Amino acid sequence: MAPSELPATPTLDAAHSGIPARLLHKATHAKSLVYDGKTVADTVTLQRGLPVPQGISKSAFLSAIDELRTLIGAEHVQLNDKQIKNGWYMEHSNTHDMMPIFSSEEFIASAVVYPGSVEDVKLIVKWANKHLIPIFPISVGRNLGYGGSAPRVRGSVTIDLGRWMNKILDINPDGFTCLVEPGVTFYALHEELVKRGLDDKMWIDTPDLGGGSVVGNTLDRGVGYTPYGDHWACHSGLEVVLPGLDSNGDVSVMRTGMGALGVGGENTWQCFPYGFGPYNDGIFSQSNLGIVTKMGMTLMPNPGGFESYMYTFAKEEDLAALIEIIRPLRISMILENVAQLRHGLQMLSVKGHPRTKYYTGSDPMPDDVVRKHLRETNIGECAWVYFGMSYGPAHIRRYKLDIIDKEFRRIPGCRKVDPSTMPDDEYFWTRDRIASGTPDLEELKWVNWMPNGSHIAFSPVSPIRGKDAENLWALAKKRHAEAGIDLMPAFCVGLREMHLIVEIVFDSEDEAMKKRAEKCLRDMIDDAAALGYGEYRTHLAFMDQVARTYSWNGNALMKFNNQLKDTLDPNGILAPGRCGIWPKRYRNRGWELKGGETSTEGNGVAPVSGGSRI
Ligand code: EUG
């Protein structure tokens, strides 16, 4: 479709989740590629009508919604009973998983509410406790590949925090910290630094795509690509609305770390994450124990120069030797950022064209076909590509780059690609921008590999060892071959571990392919677990399976999480099932997904007598 035929992508001036004006041309282009690949209408009429959550009648639910309208304002409550719109990355859905591995009407909200303040969030929590209606908070809702904005429990009421709660409350140019609300995206935070003339002084750490919420991504323990890549490790201070009611029937708000000080907490809230006593922040990440309404984050000083580099490696079998070279360099910070080691096929797919441009077979694309097409690109024929960045003034970089060059060249066939040979629109430059704190929009292009391109991620963590890389690579290869799916792995190397990220790209309209994609991921999770590897994050449909792999000592961890859940959220209203943690009311009623199901729902919820209070 010609870009001119599609409505323009909203910019940041028009929407909190919009694209920065400087990237509008990219959004226009990316949008036309996505819509070229869509074979079905973007807007779909709901076949099953209003998704009422289990445990409440439709009429009781509708009268509760009327009450919510009175509390928050009718214009801030939207019922989801007619049509859903899939959209695309920049104009994403907040009602359902727009990359559905099951039917679109499984992971779906009954309504969306848009709070304007912490007070509104408290009212919503109180309302949910009164009516025993499941609520599912999202910050921006761009957790794509992991369920996006969708709730785990069908018919939950989604709290879209980001639409109105999207202020950058503070940027401290002396202390290099900021304080943000859930609706602040990496794009928006970066643009604000530019606007204030601070972008030359301080950097943010951005993931591959910049549209995600800083709060949401950090709470989900997302990763970026500067030396500050571990977002959770870089946050300092949370403000949290708790899900239970206190003895007066009220909702509590607490601040963690130094923010808990009765007087003057703001002074040190973003400088020191721990405060006094138990460090509680952890129970609010990847959890369903609180609604985070503010978060502090560190910003990185401009290191005084930076230089991206890219090496290619000839053979797939070079993987283990290369990882062995990377480990000591990474631990000693000669390799300074979360670098990516990508498979050659991903360098083709990220160009944004459908796979049929390169290959029409129904089997995974053969190696010689991948190599032939890579030969015609600027990168050239190879098996693996390493993207890294060196920071600091030229003489400091030289010292590190020389060591890296000498070490990498121990692998026969290693090539350093000269950046000056890379045209402006080459993928190399998006890695360069991201590793220097400028969010971009290139990464989503590989979803176009399939028509109606959707994705789910296999995200195991391992030590940085050749043997581990080989194990994971081998099991992924085996399961992709069985499923007939192209394997596009990227190793993201942290300080002591690496995240392998395998995005399975599937056609959301191809039911058979969806089944194969689900089986492929379930098999990889089980295979990896049998070898001692666990996922760091997963899609809604796989949370029960992944949670079960963390079973040490008679599931001691899950028992503890259940205890916390029962104590902090006795009515079980907040994001039931998120990360495999089910409230008491849902337990042992068949809500856990094990694979092969066609429904995401269990057999009802237990009634709660007398409205539990803490
Ligand atoms: C990516 C990286 C991730 C993740 C999902 C996707 C990048 C894809 C390091 O974490 O969880 C190219």
Q: What pLDDT does residue 612 have? A: 52
The predicted model gives 281-285 an average pLDDT of 98
How many angstroms does the Cα of residue 216 sit away from the middle of ligand 1?
15
Task: Indicate which atom in ligand 1 lies nearest the CA of residue 490.
Answer: 12
Cβ contact 524:500 at 8 Å = no
Please tell me the predicted confidence (pLDDT) of residue 1. 65
Of all atoms in ligand 1, which is nearest to the CA of residue 459? 11
In-domain check, residue 598: no
What share of residues in the chain are helix, strand, coil (percent, to 5)? 35, 20, 45
Collapse the DSSP code of 336 into the 3-class scheme (helix H, G, I; strand E, B; otherwise coil) and give the result.
coil
pLDDT of residue 370: 97
Q: Is residue 186 a contact partner of residue 172, using CB atoms and an 8 Å limit? A: no
Burial letters for 317-352: b for 16+ Cβ neighbours within 10 Å, e otherwise? ebbbbbbebbbebbeeebbbbbbbbbbbbbbbbbbb
Q: Is-contact 294 169, C-beta < 8 A?
A: yes
Nearest-angstrom CA–CA distance, 613 and 570: 7
Choose one of 542, 574, 592: the last residue of a domain: 542
Which residues are paired to 77 by β-bridges? 113
Q: Could you please report the per-residue DSSP string of 575-609?
A: STTGGG---GGGTTSS----SS-S----S-----S
The domain in which residue 224 lies consists of 168-301
SS3 308: strand
454 with 382, same domain: the answer is yes
Number of CB atoms found within 10 A of residue 412's CB: 10
Look at residue 71 and give its three-state secondary structure: helix
**Ligand 1 center to residue 447 CA distance, Å?**
13
C-alpha of residue 224 to centroid of ligand 1, in Å: 9
Place of tokens 């036309």: 32
Question: Which atom of ligand 1 is nearest to 207's Cα?
Answer: 2
The pick from 223, 342, 456 for probing ligand 1's pocket by mutation, whose C-beta has the most ligand atoms within 8 angstroms, reads 223
444-468 mean pLDDT: 97
**Ligand 1 atom closest to Cα of residue 223:** 9
Average pLDDT over residues 246-255: 96
Shared-domain flag, residues 295 and 314: no
- Does 220 map to a domain? yes
Into how many domains does the chain fold? 3
Residue 595 lies in a domain: no
- In a domain, residue 56? The reply is yes
Q: What is the pLDDT of residue 377?
A: 94
Q: Is 342 domain-assigned?
A: yes
**Closest Cα to atom 2 of ligand 1:** 501
Half-sphere exposure of 10 (CA within 13 A, CB side): 14
- 94 lies in the same domain as 117: yes
Please report, for the domain that includes residue 145, its CATH number: 3.30.43.10
Q: Do 318 and 295 belong together in one domain?
A: no
Domain membership of residue 588 (yes or no) is no
Q: Report CA(550)–ligand 1 centroid distance (Å).
A: 21
Q: Are residues 483 and 364 part of one domain? A: yes
Going by CA atoms, what residue is nearest to atom 6 of ligand 1? 501
Whether 495 and 351 map to the same domain: the answer is yes
**pLDDT tier at 355, thresholds 50, 70, 90:** very high
Which atom of ligand 1 is least distant from the CA of 208? 7
Q: Do 296 and 315 reside in the same domain of the chain?
A: no
Closest ligand 1 atom, residue 338 Cα: 9
Tens of pLDDT, residue by residue over 41-52, are 999 999 999 999
Strand 453-458 to strand 497-507: parallel, antiparallel, or no bridges (unpaired)? antiparallel
Q: Which two tokens stand for residue 20?
A: 């920065």
Considering the domain boundaries, does residue 567 fall inside one? no
Kindly give the number of the ligand 1 atom that is closest to the alpha carbon of 457.
5
CA gap 77, 135 in Å, rounded: 13
The average confidence (pLDDT) of the chain is 97
- Among 1-10, 124-133, 302-311, 433-442, the minimum mean pLDDT is found in 1-10
Rounded-to-integer distance, Cα 331 and Cα 391, Å: 16
pLDDT at 433 over 60: yes
pLDDT tens digit sequence for 195-229: 999 999 999 999 999 999 999 999 999 999 999 99
> Is the domain of 176 the same as that of 261?
yes
Using CA of residue 326, residue 331, residue 335, residue 341, what is the dihedral sign? positive
Burial class (CB in 10 A: 0-12, 13-18, 19+), 177: buried
Same domain for 534 and 437? yes
- Given 114, 137, 160, the domain boundary residue is 160
Mean of pLDDT values over 419-435? 96
pLDDT at 596: 87
Dihedral over Cα of 318, 502, 517, 41: its sign: negative
Q: Which residues on neighbouring strands pair with residue 300, listed in sequence order?
A: 203
Asked whether the predicted pLDDT for residue 320 surpasses 60, the reply is: yes
Q: Which residues pair with 307 in a beta bridge?
A: 390
What is the best residue among 341, 350, 459 to mutate for testing ligand 1's pocket, by most ligand atoms within 8 Å of CB? 459
What is the pLDDT at residue 306? Answer: 98
**Given this model, what pLDDT does residue 339 score?**
85
Instruction: Tell me the CA–centroid distance for residue 105 and ligand 1, in Å.
Output: 26
Structure tokens belonging to residue 4:
């001119």
501 CA → ligand 1 middle, Å: 6
The alpha carbon of 116 is separated from its chain's Cα centroid by a whole number of angstroms, namely 24
Please tell me whether the overall predicted TM-score, pTM, comes out greater than 0.95 for this model: yes
Q: Which of 583, 558, 305 is nearest to 436 (CA)?
A: 305
pLDDT of residue 5: 85
* CATH code: domain of residue 444: 3.40.462.10
- pLDDT score of 394: 98
What distance in angstroms lies between residue 311's CA and the mean position of ligand 1's atoms? Answer: 20
Pocket test for ligand 1, best of 205, 218, 350, 499 (most atoms within 8 A of CB): 499
pLDDT higher than 60, residue 493: yes
Q: Round to whole Å and give the CA distance between 599 and 602.
A: 8
Residues with CB under 6 A from ligand 1: 145, 208, 223, 443, 457, 459, 490, 492, 499, 501, 503, 537
Is the same domain home to 458 and 489?
A: yes
Using DSSP, state whether 294 is helix, strand or coil: strand
Could you tell me if residue 568 is inside a domain? no
The verdict on 147 and 199 lying in the same domain is: no
Residues serving a catalytic function are 146, 536-537
| Residue nearest (by alpha carbon) to ligand 1 atom 1 | 501
What is the residue with the minimal CA distance to atom 10 of ligand 1? Answer: 223
- CA 230 to centroid of ligand 1, rounded, Å: 12
- CATH code for the domain of 203: 3.30.465.10
What would the mean pLDDT of 360-385 be, rounded to a whole number? 96
104 and 222 assigned to the same domain: no
Which residue among 128, 160, 192 closes a domain?
A: 160
Name the residue at shortest CA distance from atom 9 of ligand 1. 223
Given a cut of 70, whether residue 434 has pLDDT beyond it is: yes
DSSP 8-state symbol, 199: T
Q: Which of 501, 502, 521 to mutate to test the pocket of ligand 1 (most atoms within 8 A of CB)?
A: 501
